[in-house]
């Protein structure tokens, strides 16, 4: 957060089998990405290959990443 970079990201949820590889590839592309470059990198990812993620498109991932960088999820170690 101090360097305004995305260290690592995981997308979860009900993802069709065909999209699993593309999702993993996108996660790898976004690893250590500057926050300012998120939209550009996501658009380049979708433009540079055939992706089986219907009905999800680049704008869906951009929207969720914008939300994520505004409200980072921090793991909690609360017991009980």
Has residue 40 got a pLDDT over 60? yes
What CA–CA distance (Å, rounded) separates 72 from 52?
28
CA 41 to chain centroid, in Å, comes to: 10
Has residue 16 got a pLDDT over 90? no
Contacts of 22 (CB under 8 A, 6+ apart): 49, 51, 52, 53
Q: What is the pLDDT of residue 50?
A: 75
Q: What is the pLDDT of residue 15?
A: 63
With beta carbons less than 8 A apart as the criterion, state whether 19 and 50 touch: no
Q: Residue 43's pLDDT band (boundaries 50, 70, 90)?
A: very high
What CA–CA distance (Å, rounded) separates 69 from 48?
24
Contacts of 74 (CB under 8 A, 6+ apart): none
């Amino acid at each position: 957060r101090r360097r305004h970079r995305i260290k690592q990201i995981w997308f979860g949820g009900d993802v069709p089998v065909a999209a699993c590889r593309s999702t993993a590839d996108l996660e790898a592309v976004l690893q250590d990405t500057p926050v300012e470059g998120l939209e550009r990198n996501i658009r380049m990812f979708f433009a540079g290959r055939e992706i089986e993620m219907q009905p999800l498109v680049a704008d869906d991932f951009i929207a969720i990443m914008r939300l994520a960088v505004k409200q980072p999820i921090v793991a909690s170690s609360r017991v009980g």
